[in-house]
Every structure is written in C-alpha cells, then in structure tokens.
Amino acid sequence: MTTVLIIEDNPDNTLLISDILAFEGFTIIHAESGLKGVKMAEENQPNFIILDIQLPDIDGYEVLGKIRTSKIASKIPIIAMTSYAMAGDRERLLDAGCDGYVEKPIDPVLVMDQIRQALGDKL
C-alpha cells in the first residue's frame, strides 16, 4: 500500500487532503510540525510527502533541506502544498528540491491529477 506523509499544521487542511488521499486508497500518516515531519520521513519512509511551507517550528524550506540531506529520506518525492502564491514561489520551491507544487486552497476535484502529474512514474 502507498503511504503518504502529510506535514501540515492546519487541522482543516489536513482533514481535507487526508480524506481525498484515503478515498484514493493511500495510507496516511501526519506530522503537525516540521521537525516531527523530518523525523517521521526518516522513520516511516513514506512513498511521498505533502509539505506545507508555513509551519509552527521550522518552515517548509528547512524541512525540505533536512529531508534532502538525510541519508535515509533524501529520495522521497515531496510536493509542496501551500498558500504561497506570489510570483516566483513555485519556481523557488521546485529549485529547492520539491517534485511538485499545489496551490491552496486546493480543488478537491483536481488535486489528485495535480499529485499524479507532479509524481509521474514515482507514484
């Protein structure tokens, strides 16, 4: 079964994306902070990660950097799912090491297509 780690501090956003992914048959694990997310990525080796950028302890860029330099978790695909929607944000996140970018608020009808497109053959 495909496991997804959602690193998101907003309970409503977590519930929405979890419901969508669970409906598609994914197993969901969740971290509500960046540091916990890094630890869970290393311990659980999920198939991919949904990463919010605005987190309560360290931001998503730091989470991304820690995962990308981890000996254990560096190859896990990461999709940024964020309300950062200023010009250049998408490109900065992709350049920093994200495999995809989904803008919030997410469209429940389109989000799975966006995830599949971002992951390609990694899913």
Write down the pTM of the prediction: 0.94
Instruction: Return the pLDDT at 86.
Output: 67
Domain ranges of the chain: 3-122
Strand partners for 4? 28, 48
- CATH fold for domain 3-122: Rossmann fold (3.40.50)
Laid out side by side, the sheet with 3-7 consists of 27-31, 3-7, 48-51, 78-82, 100-103
Query: What would the pLDDT profile of 61-76 be if each residue is shown by its tens digit?
Result: 999 999 999 999 999 9
